[in-house]
Protein backbone atom coordinates (compact mmCIF):
# COMPACT_ATOMS: atom_id res chain seq x y z
CA UNK A 1 0.00 0.00 0.00
CA UNK A 2 1.38 3.41 -0.91
CA UNK A 3 0.28 6.93 -0.16
CA UNK A 4 0.69 10.02 -2.33
CA UNK A 5 2.76 12.90 -1.01
CA UNK A 6 3.55 16.31 -2.43
CA UNK A 7 6.12 18.68 -1.02
CA UNK A 8 8.45 21.43 -2.06
CA UNK A 9 12.10 20.53 -1.66
CA UNK A 10 14.65 23.30 -2.08
CA UNK A 11 12.06 25.34 -3.98
CA UNK A 12 11.02 22.54 -6.31
CA UNK A 13 7.69 20.80 -5.96
CA UNK A 14 7.54 17.04 -6.34
CA UNK A 15 4.89 14.36 -5.95
CA UNK A 16 5.45 10.69 -5.25
CA UNK A 17 3.77 7.57 -3.98
CA UNK A 18 5.51 6.19 -0.92
CA UNK A 19 5.11 3.51 1.71
CA UNK A 20 3.61 5.10 4.83
CA UNK A 21 6.58 3.94 6.88
CA UNK A 22 9.21 5.45 4.58
CA UNK A 23 11.36 7.82 6.64
CA UNK A 24 11.92 11.29 5.25
CA UNK A 25 15.69 10.79 5.23
CA UNK A 26 15.34 7.73 3.00
CA UNK A 27 12.90 9.58 0.76
CA UNK A 28 15.27 12.51 0.36
CA UNK A 29 18.29 10.32 -0.30
CA UNK A 30 16.84 7.47 -2.31
CA UNK A 31 13.75 8.87 -4.02
CA UNK A 32 14.66 12.55 -4.45
CA UNK A 33 18.36 11.72 -4.94
CA UNK A 34 19.52 14.34 -2.41
CA UNK A 35 22.33 12.41 -0.74
CA UNK A 36 23.76 15.43 1.09
CA UNK A 37 21.48 14.56 4.01
CA UNK A 38 23.39 11.82 5.80
CA UNK A 39 22.62 8.94 8.14
CA UNK A 40 25.18 8.36 10.86
CA UNK A 41 23.18 6.49 13.50
CA UNK A 42 20.06 4.44 13.92
CA UNK A 43 19.04 6.00 17.21
CA UNK A 44 18.22 9.62 16.21
CA UNK A 45 21.22 10.93 18.13
CA UNK A 46 23.78 12.10 15.60
CA UNK A 47 21.95 14.92 13.79
CA UNK A 48 23.65 14.15 10.44
CA UNK A 49 20.20 13.96 8.86
CA UNK A 50 19.08 17.45 9.95
CA UNK A 51 16.93 19.36 7.43
CA UNK A 52 14.52 22.27 7.71
CA UNK A 53 10.79 21.63 7.46
CA UNK A 54 8.89 24.91 7.12
CA UNK A 55 12.01 26.56 8.52
CA UNK A 56 12.33 24.33 11.61
CA UNK A 57 15.34 22.07 12.11
CA UNK A 58 14.24 18.45 12.17
CA UNK A 59 16.10 15.15 12.24
CA UNK A 60 14.74 13.62 9.07
CA UNK A 61 15.34 10.08 10.34
CA UNK A 62 12.67 10.68 12.97
CA UNK A 63 9.96 11.85 10.57
CA UNK A 64 7.86 9.84 8.14
CA UNK A 65 7.75 11.15 4.60
CA UNK A 66 3.98 11.44 4.80
CA UNK A 67 4.38 13.88 7.72
CA UNK A 68 6.16 16.25 5.34
CA UNK A 69 3.23 16.21 2.93
CA UNK A 70 2.39 19.75 1.84
CA UNK A 71 5.44 21.23 3.59
CA UNK A 72 8.55 23.12 2.49
CA UNK A 73 11.70 21.09 2.98
CA UNK A 74 15.20 22.57 2.77
CA UNK A 75 18.22 20.31 2.59
CA UNK A 76 21.91 21.17 2.51
CA UNK A 77 21.73 21.22 -1.29
CA UNK A 78 19.20 24.07 -1.11
CA UNK A 79 21.11 26.34 1.25
CA UNK A 80 23.39 28.04 -1.28
CA UNK A 81 21.53 30.60 -3.40
CA UNK A 82 22.33 31.00 -7.08
CA UNK A 83 25.57 29.16 -6.56
CA UNK A 84 26.66 31.50 -3.74
CA UNK A 85 27.38 29.86 -0.41
CA UNK A 86 25.19 30.56 2.60
CA UNK A 87 27.18 32.48 5.26
CA UNK A 88 27.26 29.40 7.46
CA UNK A 89 28.67 27.26 4.68
CA UNK A 90 31.24 29.97 4.05
CA UNK A 91 32.09 30.13 7.76
CA UNK A 92 32.62 26.37 7.97
CA UNK A 93 34.92 26.56 4.98
CA UNK A 94 36.87 29.59 6.19
CA UNK A 95 37.39 28.31 9.69
CA UNK A 96 38.04 24.65 8.96
CA UNK A 97 34.81 23.63 10.64
CA UNK A 98 34.96 20.19 9.04
CA UNK A 99 37.30 17.31 8.61
CA UNK A 100 35.84 14.31 6.77
CA UNK A 101 32.66 16.31 6.19
CA UNK A 102 30.21 13.53 6.96
CA UNK A 103 28.49 15.25 9.88
CA UNK A 104 28.86 18.68 8.28
CA UNK A 105 25.54 19.02 6.42
CA UNK A 106 23.68 18.29 9.67
CA UNK A 107 25.78 20.80 11.63
CA UNK A 108 25.31 23.47 8.96
CA UNK A 109 21.53 23.00 8.87
CA UNK A 110 21.33 23.07 12.68
CA UNK A 111 23.54 26.20 12.78
CA UNK A 112 21.44 27.91 10.11
CA UNK A 113 18.34 27.26 12.19
CA UNK A 114 20.04 28.39 15.40
CA UNK A 115 21.09 31.70 13.87
CA UNK A 116 17.68 32.33 12.42
CA UNK A 117 16.26 31.99 15.92
CA UNK A 118 19.06 33.84 17.66
CA UNK A 119 21.39 35.96 15.51
CA UNK A 120 23.83 36.60 18.36
CA UNK A 121 24.13 33.42 20.39
CA UNK A 122 26.54 33.12 23.28
CA UNK A 123 29.04 30.26 23.41
CA UNK A 124 26.68 28.41 25.71
CA UNK A 125 23.74 28.95 23.36
CA UNK A 126 25.80 27.71 20.40
CA UNK A 127 26.74 24.62 22.37
CA UNK A 128 23.14 24.01 23.34
CA UNK A 129 21.90 24.73 19.81
CA UNK A 130 24.28 22.18 18.31
CA UNK A 131 24.09 19.57 21.05
CA UNK A 132 21.89 17.35 18.88
CA UNK A 133 24.74 16.93 16.41
CA UNK A 134 27.73 14.65 16.81
CA UNK A 135 31.06 14.71 14.97
CA UNK A 136 33.08 11.50 14.84
CA UNK A 137 36.14 13.49 13.79
CA UNK A 138 35.53 15.53 16.96
CA UNK A 139 36.14 18.89 15.36
CA UNK A 140 33.93 20.69 17.86
CA UNK A 141 36.39 23.47 18.66
CA UNK A 142 36.42 24.74 15.10
CA UNK A 143 32.71 24.34 14.71
CA UNK A 144 31.78 26.07 17.95
CA UNK A 145 34.54 28.61 18.39
CA UNK A 146 36.16 29.02 15.02
CA UNK A 147 33.03 29.67 13.01
CA UNK A 148 31.92 33.28 13.08
CA UNK A 149 28.49 32.17 14.11
CA UNK A 150 27.85 35.33 16.06
CA UNK A 151 28.02 37.59 13.02
CA UNK A 152 25.74 36.03 10.43
CA UNK A 153 25.55 38.13 7.33
CA UNK A 154 28.94 39.75 7.91
CA UNK A 155 30.77 37.08 5.96
CA UNK A 156 31.39 37.72 2.31
CA UNK A 157 28.98 35.97 0.00
CA UNK A 158 31.36 36.22 -2.91
CA UNK A 159 32.52 32.61 -3.04
CA UNK A 160 30.85 30.32 -5.45
CA UNK A 161 29.56 27.01 -4.14
CA UNK A 162 31.67 25.19 -6.71
CA UNK A 163 34.76 26.72 -5.12
CA UNK A 164 35.76 28.33 -8.41
CA UNK A 165 36.47 31.65 -6.75
CA UNK A 166 38.12 30.02 -3.77
CA UNK A 167 41.55 30.57 -5.23
CA UNK A 168 41.05 34.18 -6.23
CA UNK A 169 40.44 35.91 -3.01
CA UNK A 170 37.39 34.66 -1.18
CA UNK A 171 37.65 33.70 2.44
CA UNK A 172 37.41 36.10 5.29
CA UNK A 173 39.35 34.55 8.14
CA UNK A 174 42.19 36.94 8.89
CA UNK A 175 41.84 38.53 5.48
CA UNK A 176 44.28 36.16 3.87
CA UNK A 177 43.17 33.89 1.08
CA UNK A 178 44.53 31.63 -1.56
CA UNK A 179 45.43 34.59 -3.73
CA UNK A 180 48.67 35.06 -1.83
CA UNK A 181 51.63 33.97 -3.85
CA UNK A 182 53.15 32.06 -0.95
CA UNK A 183 51.09 29.69 1.14
CA UNK A 184 53.64 29.64 3.94
CA UNK A 185 52.14 31.26 7.00
CA UNK A 186 48.87 32.00 5.20
CA UNK A 187 45.41 30.71 5.95
CA UNK A 188 44.32 28.47 3.13
CA UNK A 189 40.99 26.91 2.38
CA UNK A 190 40.82 23.22 1.63
CA UNK A 191 39.95 22.58 -1.99
CA UNK A 192 37.80 19.57 -1.14
CA UNK A 193 35.49 21.50 1.19
CA UNK A 194 33.00 23.11 -1.25
CA UNK A 195 31.47 19.79 -2.23
CA UNK A 196 31.28 18.71 1.43
CA UNK A 197 29.60 21.88 2.70
CA UNK A 198 27.06 21.87 -0.12
CA UNK A 199 26.03 18.22 0.20
CA UNK A 200 27.83 17.01 -2.91
CA UNK A 201 30.40 14.78 -1.25
CA UNK A 202 30.38 11.18 -2.38
CA UNK A 203 30.47 8.81 0.56
CA UNK A 204 30.14 5.03 0.44
CA UNK A 205 26.55 5.25 1.71
CA UNK A 206 25.69 7.42 -1.30
CA UNK A 207 26.48 4.65 -3.76
CA UNK A 208 23.29 3.15 -5.12
CA UNK A 209 23.72 0.09 -7.32
CA UNK A 210 21.07 -1.78 -9.25
CA UNK A 211 19.72 -4.74 -7.23
CA UNK A 212 21.79 -3.73 -4.25
CA UNK A 213 21.12 -5.62 -1.01
CA UNK A 214 20.71 -3.73 2.27
CA UNK A 215 21.91 -4.54 5.76
CA UNK A 216 20.32 -4.02 9.13
CA UNK A 217 22.34 -4.43 12.33
CA UNK A 218 21.04 -6.09 15.49
CA UNK A 219 22.63 -4.22 18.40
CA UNK A 220 23.03 -4.93 22.08
CA UNK A 221 20.68 -3.06 24.42
CA UNK A 222 23.13 -3.82 27.26
CA UNK A 223 26.32 -1.98 28.20
CA UNK A 224 27.86 -5.26 29.29
CA UNK A 225 26.46 -8.76 28.92
CA UNK A 226 27.35 -12.31 28.06
CA UNK A 227 25.71 -13.69 24.92
CA UNK A 228 24.22 -17.07 25.77
CA UNK A 229 22.70 -17.78 22.36
CA UNK A 230 21.47 -16.19 19.15
CA UNK A 231 18.52 -17.64 17.23
CA UNK A 232 18.41 -16.42 13.64
CA UNK A 233 15.96 -18.96 12.23
CA UNK A 234 12.85 -16.72 12.13
CA UNK A 235 14.84 -13.85 10.62
CA UNK A 236 16.31 -16.17 7.99
CA UNK A 237 12.80 -17.27 6.99
CA UNK A 238 11.54 -13.69 6.72
CA UNK A 239 10.56 -12.16 3.38
CA UNK A 240 13.39 -10.95 1.14
CA UNK A 241 16.20 -12.03 3.46
CA UNK A 242 19.46 -12.99 1.78
CA UNK A 243 21.58 -13.78 4.85
CA UNK A 244 21.75 -13.44 8.61
CA UNK A 245 25.29 -13.35 9.96
CA UNK A 246 26.70 -13.60 13.46
CA UNK A 247 30.24 -13.81 14.87
CA UNK A 248 30.31 -17.51 14.03
CA UNK A 249 30.12 -16.61 10.33
CA UNK A 250 32.85 -14.00 10.63
CA UNK A 251 35.27 -16.20 12.58
CA UNK A 252 36.65 -18.16 9.61
CA UNK A 253 37.37 -14.86 7.83
CA UNK A 254 38.33 -12.56 10.72
CA UNK A 255 39.29 -14.64 13.72
CA UNK A 256 39.93 -11.84 16.21
CA UNK A 257 39.84 -8.08 16.46
CA UNK A 258 40.16 -5.97 13.33
CA UNK A 259 43.69 -4.78 12.58
CA UNK A 260 42.93 -1.22 13.67
CA UNK A 261 45.46 1.12 15.18
CA UNK A 262 45.53 4.76 16.12
CA UNK A 263 48.76 6.56 15.46
CA UNK A 264 47.81 9.36 17.87
CA UNK A 265 47.80 7.06 20.89
CA UNK A 266 51.31 6.67 22.24
CA UNK A 267 50.45 3.68 24.40
CA UNK A 268 49.18 1.16 21.86
CA UNK A 269 47.89 -1.03 24.67
CA UNK A 270 45.13 1.54 25.24
CA UNK A 271 43.70 1.22 21.75
CA UNK A 272 40.45 -0.68 22.20
CA UNK A 273 40.18 -3.84 20.19
CA UNK A 274 37.64 -3.44 17.43
CA UNK A 275 35.58 -6.52 16.68
CA UNK A 276 33.44 -6.56 13.55
CA UNK A 277 30.70 -8.19 15.57
CA UNK A 278 30.40 -9.34 19.18
CA UNK A 279 31.10 -13.02 19.84
CA UNK A 280 30.55 -14.17 23.43
CA UNK A 281 30.24 -10.82 25.17
CA UNK A 282 29.03 -7.29 24.44
CA UNK A 283 31.09 -4.47 25.93
CA UNK A 284 28.93 -1.44 25.11
CA UNK A 285 25.30 -0.62 24.39
CA UNK A 286 24.82 -0.69 20.64
CA UNK A 287 27.55 -3.24 19.89
CA UNK A 288 26.54 -5.28 16.81
CA UNK A 289 25.60 -8.88 17.55
CA UNK A 290 24.10 -9.88 14.19
CA UNK A 291 23.54 -8.45 10.72
CA UNK A 292 20.64 -9.12 8.41
CA UNK A 293 21.00 -8.69 4.65
CA UNK A 294 17.82 -8.36 2.59
CA UNK A 295 16.42 -7.06 -0.67
CA UNK A 296 15.56 -3.67 0.79
CA UNK A 297 16.33 -1.79 3.97
CA UNK A 298 12.85 -2.16 5.44
CA UNK A 299 12.74 -5.92 4.87
CA UNK A 300 16.15 -6.11 6.54
CA UNK A 301 14.84 -4.08 9.49
CA UNK A 302 11.75 -6.30 9.74
CA UNK A 303 13.86 -9.44 9.86
CA UNK A 304 16.32 -7.91 12.34
CA UNK A 305 13.44 -7.63 14.81
CA UNK A 306 13.09 -11.41 14.61
CA UNK A 307 16.64 -12.23 15.71
CA UNK A 308 16.42 -13.56 19.27
CA UNK A 309 19.47 -12.93 21.46
CA UNK A 310 19.66 -14.42 24.95
CA UNK A 311 21.80 -12.09 27.10
CA UNK A 312 23.08 -12.50 30.62
CA UNK A 313 23.47 -8.88 31.80
CA UNK A 314 26.72 -8.11 33.67
CA UNK A 315 27.80 -5.10 35.76
CA UNK A 316 29.01 -2.31 33.50
CA UNK A 317 31.72 0.31 33.81
CA UNK A 318 29.89 3.61 33.41
CA UNK A 319 32.52 6.30 33.91
CA UNK A 320 36.11 7.02 33.02
CA UNK A 321 37.39 6.90 36.60
CA UNK A 322 36.17 3.34 36.97
CA UNK A 323 37.39 2.44 33.50
CA UNK A 324 40.97 3.35 34.42
CA UNK A 325 40.68 1.30 37.57
CA UNK A 326 40.96 4.13 40.11
CA UNK A 327 37.43 3.93 41.44
CA UNK A 328 36.46 0.35 40.85
CA UNK A 329 34.05 -0.91 43.49
CA UNK A 330 35.06 -4.04 45.39
CA UNK A 331 33.70 -7.12 43.71
CA UNK A 332 32.69 -5.28 40.54
CA UNK A 333 33.11 -7.47 37.54
CA UNK A 334 34.86 -5.92 34.60
CA UNK A 335 36.01 -7.67 31.49
CA UNK A 336 39.27 -6.68 29.79
CA UNK A 337 37.33 -5.55 26.71
CA UNK A 338 35.04 -3.27 28.68
CA UNK A 339 37.98 -1.85 30.57
CA UNK A 340 39.81 -0.96 27.38
CA UNK A 341 36.71 0.44 25.69
CA UNK A 342 36.01 2.50 28.78
CA UNK A 343 39.47 4.01 28.57
CA UNK A 344 38.70 5.09 25.02
CA UNK A 345 35.44 6.85 25.86
CA UNK A 346 35.37 10.58 25.19
CA UNK A 347 33.49 12.86 27.50
CA UNK A 348 31.25 14.39 24.87
S1 LIG B 1 20.68 9.65 11.29
FE2 LIG B 1 19.20 10.97 12.11
S3 LIG B 1 19.95 11.49 14.06
FE4 LIG B 1 21.42 10.09 13.28
S1 LIG C 1 33.87 16.13 10.23
FE2 LIG C 1 34.05 13.98 10.22
S3 LIG C 1 32.35 13.33 11.39
FE4 LIG C 1 32.39 15.45 11.66
CB 60 within 8 A of CB 50: yes
Q: Which ligand has the nearest atom to the CA of 201?
A: 2
**Greatest mean pLDDT range, 21-30, 280-289, 339-348:** 21-30
Please report how the helices 87-94 and 104-117 are oriented relative to each other, as an axis angle in degrees rounded to 10.
Answer: 130
48 CB near ligand 1 (under 6 Å): yes
Domains in the chain with CATH codes: 1-208 (3.10.20.30), 214-343 (3.90.1170.50)
Residue in 26, 59, 105 to alter for ligand 1 test, most ligand atoms within 8 A of Cβ? 59
For residue range 1-16, list pLDDT tens digits in order.
899 999 999 999 999 9
**pLDDT over 50 at 344, yes or no:** no
The pTM (predicted TM-score) of the whole model is 0.79
CB 230 within 8 A of CB 278: no
Predicted pLDDT of residue 34: 97
Give me the residues paired with residue 5 across strands.
16
61 CB near ligand 1 (under 6 Å): yes
98 CB near ligand 2 (under 6 Å): yes
Predicted pLDDT of residue 75: 98
**pLDDT over 80 at 319, yes or no:** no
**pLDDT over 80 at 36, yes or no:** yes
Distance CA(34)–CA(206), nearest Å, equals 9
Predicted pLDDT of residue 328: 54
Q: β-strands 308-313, 225-231: how paired?
A: antiparallel
Residue in 95, 97, 99 to alter for ligand 2 test, most ligand atoms within 8 A of Cβ? 99
Q: How confident is the model at residue 332 (pLDDT cuts 50, 70, 90)?
A: low
Q: Which ligand has the nearest atom to the CA of 137?
A: 2
For residue range 169-209, list pLDDT tens digits in order.
334 443 334 444 567 877 778 899 999 999 999 999 999 88
Please, which residues have CB within 8 angstroms of residue 205's CB and are 6 or more apart in sequence? 35, 38, 39
CB 241 within 8 A of CB 293: yes
**pLDDT over 90 at 224, yes or no:** yes
Judged by DSSP in three states, 72 sits in: strand
Centroid of ligand 1 to alpha carbon of 116 (angstroms): 22
Amino acid sequence: MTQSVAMTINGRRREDHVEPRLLLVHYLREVAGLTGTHIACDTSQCGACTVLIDGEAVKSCSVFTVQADGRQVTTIEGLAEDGVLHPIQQAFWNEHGLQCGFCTPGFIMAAAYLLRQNPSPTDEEIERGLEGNLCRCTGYENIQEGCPLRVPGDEPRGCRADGAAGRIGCGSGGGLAMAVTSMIGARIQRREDPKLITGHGNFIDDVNLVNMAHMSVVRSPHAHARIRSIDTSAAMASKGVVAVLTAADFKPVIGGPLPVTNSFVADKKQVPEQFPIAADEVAYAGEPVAVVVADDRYLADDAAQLVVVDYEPLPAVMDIEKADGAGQSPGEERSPRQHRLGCGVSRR
